[in-house]
Amino acid sequence: MKRLISARDILAAMEKHEDLKVDGNTIVTAQAEDIARENGVVLLRGPETNEFLSTKAVAKEPLSSEGGDTLGQNIVSKQPSESIPLSVMNEKKPLFTADQIEHVVSAAVDKGLWTKNDLQNLLHSEQDLPPITVGVSGRHIHLSKEHLCELFGEGYKLTPIKDLSQPGQFASKECVTLVGPKGVIEKVRVLGPVRSQTQVEVLAGDTFKLGIPLAIRLSGHLNDTPGITLCGPKGTVVLSEGVIVAARHIHMTPEDANRRELHDGQVVSIKFGGIRGGRLDNVVIRANESGALDCHIDTEEANALHIKNGSIVEIVK
Ligand SMILES: [Zn+2]
């Protein structure tokens, strides 16, 4: 049976600092190729792999059916029993013709091993559509213009230090302190530009430290959320509401959503590979014209699953 190397296999190899062997029996998706190249995962191609084998077992010694790795045995078993020049091994033909592959795929669908939907998903997710990457958010705050002035002084303007994934959004040099009934968190980064309403985004663990209820909300949905006191260099603001733990979400344009057969507001699950891989449910699709493709989770979620900025996520509907 043909072996498929997908983006997830590359990421798994990356986690383990391994190279991947690719022989004539392996299909590597275009996306997987790209990710391997970008992340320095080496794909040991057939000829190179043969060459590798030749120095170990083939060229200098008669072929043996014992020992060696699985890939070596696959190659060796197709050849006559004695030593074979490397040049001949490198010309080894693929195990299946295109017609045979089509026949195998059709048979798998007929027997119910794969649905046509599975095949469509494979084709779309692996080839036509760009991968969805993860952006990990720490605690931060968005300020209204009024609150910015109260905390930093009249006429104050934020100082951008880093662009964020969503167009026009930036991290600023400015930080504030959160003061809750039970505790204080300093150096909370202000993100810009200013918004119509101040919104504080904290981690679930922060709510215990601050001593406030935990309200999981999408950005902008601030009804029935707890308040907090904000301290800046020039003043203090007492918020009656506006502290949320951000609900995980995926930004994209309506066109992106359409191509993936998703829509704004749809709730999906996301799946990650890797050593602490897992699945997160209740991820909201946020499709709007300015949405740059990015899956936003917070540092607690990311740490739990051992993933980082730029990791690839798979959507499960
Ligand atoms: Zn977001």
pLDDT in tens, 163-180: 998 899 999 999 999 999
Average pLDDT over residues 82-105: 66
Q: Which two tokens stand for residue 157?
A: 């303007």
The rounded Å distance from CA 152 to ligand 1 centre is 26
The rounded Å distance from CA 253 to ligand 1 centre is 13
Task: Reply yes or no on whether the pLDDT at 65 is more than 50.
Answer: no
Q: Which of 38, 42, 50, 48 is nearest to 5 (CA)?
A: 42
- Which residues make beta-bridge pairs with 144? 195
The rounded Å distance from CA 267 to ligand 1 centre is 15
First to last CA, the chain: 28
User: In the prediction, which pLDDT does 1 show?
Assistant: 67
pLDDT band at 162 (very low <50, low <70, confident <90, very high): very high
DSSP 65: S
Q: Hey, what's the torsion of the CAs at 216, 222, 225, 231, to 10 degrees?
A: 110
The rounded Å distance from CA 158 to ligand 1 centre is 20
The rounded Å distance from CA 14 to ligand 1 centre is 26
The rounded Å distance from CA 250 to ligand 1 centre is 7
The rounded Å distance from CA 98 to ligand 1 centre is 43
Delimit the domains of the chain by residue range: 3-128, 132-317
Task: Reply yes or no on whether the pLDDT at 73 is more than 50.
Answer: no
The rounded Å distance from CA 13 to ligand 1 centre is 28
As a whole number of angstroms, the distance between CA 200 and CA 265 comes to 22
* Percent of the chain residues past pLDDT 70, beyond the cut: 82
Q: What is the pLDDT of residues 127-147, one digit of tens each?
A: 578 899 999 999 999 999 999
Tell me, yes or no, if the pTM score tops 0.85.
no
**Residue-averaged pLDDT of the chain:** 83
Average pLDDT over residues 55-64: 37
Lowest model confidence (mean pLDDT) among 94-98, 181-185, 255-259: 94-98
The rounded Å distance from CA 143 to ligand 1 centre is 16
Owner of token pair 């995962």: 41
Q: Give φ, ψ of 186 to 5 degrees.
A: -95, 170
* Percent of the chain residues past pLDDT 90, beyond the cut: 54
**Strand segments (E) across the chain:** 3-5, 20-21, 26-28, 43-44, 132-137, 140-144, 160-163, 170-179, 184-195, 199-201, 216-217, 228-231, 236-239, 243-246, 249-252, 267-272, 278-287, 294-298, 312-316
User: In the prediction, which pLDDT does 121 show?
Assistant: 66
Contact of 298 with 136, CB cutoff 8 Å: yes
The rounded Å distance from CA 136 to ligand 1 centre is 9
The rounded Å distance from CA 249 to ligand 1 centre is 6
267 SS3 class? strand
The rounded Å distance from CA 173 to ligand 1 centre is 20
Q: How many CA atoms lie within 13 A of 234 on its CB side?
A: 12
The rounded Å distance from CA 294 to ligand 1 centre is 8
Average pLDDT over residues 213-230: 96
Average pLDDT over residues 14-20: 80
Listed in sequence order, the residues at least 6 apart from 107 whose beta carbon sits closer than 8 Å to its beta carbon are none
User: In the prediction, which pLDDT does 79 show?
Assistant: 39
The rounded Å distance from CA 100 to ligand 1 centre is 45
Q: What is the pLDDT of residues 249-288, one digit of tens each?
A: 999 999 999 999 999 999 999 999 888 889 999 999 999 9
The rounded Å distance from CA 25 to ligand 1 centre is 41
Average pLDDT over residues 81-106: 66
